[in-house]
Amino acid sequence: MNSIIAFPARLAVWLLLAPLLPGIINKVKAWVAGRRGPPVLQLYYDLARLWRKGVVVSTLASPGFIAGPAVAWVAVLAAALLLPLGPLGASLSFRGDVILLLYLLALARFCTAWAALETGSAFEGMGAAREVSFAVLAEAAVVTAVLTLSLQSRSVSLSAMLVPAAGSGTLLLAVGLFTVLLAENCRVPFDDPNTHLELTMIHEVMVLDHSGPPLAAVLHGAAMKLLLFSVLLVQAVLPVGKLPPAAGAGALVAGVLVVTVAVGLVESLMARVAFRRVPLLLTTAFLLCVFALLIAWKGGAA
């Protein structure tokens, strides 16, 4: 594909389509609960409104309070551009780019936690501590999933390794990655995005003191991260890259929609688990990925 057209197209997909996903999730939740729910485009309105507003900065905060969300947003966007988008391909592909993707996501998390600590608020410190401690377990699962994929394809480049293997390993990997998606994006069994009780929040409590454009960057970054993990999950399970371009794009869009609706259904039908159960759930995701890895390993040796 022509790279002059493809790059803006990819950028447009990540920047413009990402805020759709939270809207769809909220619509699914409203539908299950029998409500009308907010419009699907609600996050776009919120972002536009936040962008016009001013910023309130605590007297304690250093410039890191503004820089944190900005760096996190750029890091998530850069990570997203590394991920191939079905027939559109990746903007940049090189040996080991998957490791850069993992580190960019870790950098984004670090910056969000840093900005949360800047205000000196006890609640935000608590949220940052929770986010980072759960991330340790979630990252173990993601790294294992990436190892599985690279072992299946014998490659460490994202564009070559997102080729699913048929069999039970893929199913294990899909369930493991879906659990990680829920944990990384602070969805229901781990965290409730709608909660307004500081004691139970994880991600939301970290951004309590942000306002105006930095909050818009945080919200948009979270939406992009959700899209990133959905695309990763779909491409790890469906052979999107091998289909003809039109069918590949269709499969990718359909897959992402299915993942989004599944997140909405999980959110409607499950309760948030108690904090002491969260490590157990994340360890389960890690074990699922470990078993997928073992199947990939054993299958490769046989």
Interface residues toward other proteins, by CB under 8 A: 168, 277, 279-280, 283-284, 287, 290, 294
Q: Judged by CB, which is closer to other proteins: 262, or 294?
A: 294
Q: Judged by CB, which is closer to other proteins: 158, or 278?
A: 278
Q: Judged by CB, which is closer to other proteins: 50, or 282?
A: 282
* Least distance in angstroms from the C-beta of 280 to other proteins: 5
Q: Judged by CB, which is closer to other proteins: 53, or 277?
A: 277
* Least distance in angstroms from the C-beta of 62 to other proteins: 38
Q: Judged by CB, which is closer to other proteins: 48, or 280?
A: 280
* Least distance in angstroms from the C-beta of 61 to other proteins: 37
* Least distance in angstroms from the C-beta of 237 to other proteins: 18
**Which residue in this structure is represented by tokens 């004691």?**
199
Closest CA relative to residue 292, chosen from 174, 169, 203, 179: 169
* Least distance in angstroms from the C-beta of 98 to other proteins: 25
SS (H, E, C) the chain: CCHHHHHHHHHHHHHHHCCHHHHHHHHHHHHHHCCCCCCCCHHHHHHHHHHHCCCCCCCCCCCHHHHHHHHHHHHHHHHHHHCCCHHHCCCCCCCCHHHHHHHHHHHHHHHHHHHHHHCCCHHHHHHHHHHHHHHHHHHHHHHHHHHHHHHHHCCCCHHHHCCCCCCHHHHHHHHHHHHHHHHHCCCCCCCCCCCCCHHHCCHHHHCCCCCHHHHHHHHHHHHHHHHHHHHHHHHHHCCHHHCCHHHHHHHHHHHHHHHHHHHHHHHHHCCCCCHHHHHHHHHHHHHHHHHHHHHHHHHHHC
* Least distance in angstroms from the C-beta of 300 to other proteins: 15
* Least distance in angstroms from the C-beta of 283 to other proteins: 6
What distance, in Å, lies between the first and last C-alpha atoms of the chain? 38
Q: Judged by CB, which is closer to other proteins: 164, or 169?
A: 169
Q: Judged by CB, which is closer to other proteins: 56, or 166?
A: 166
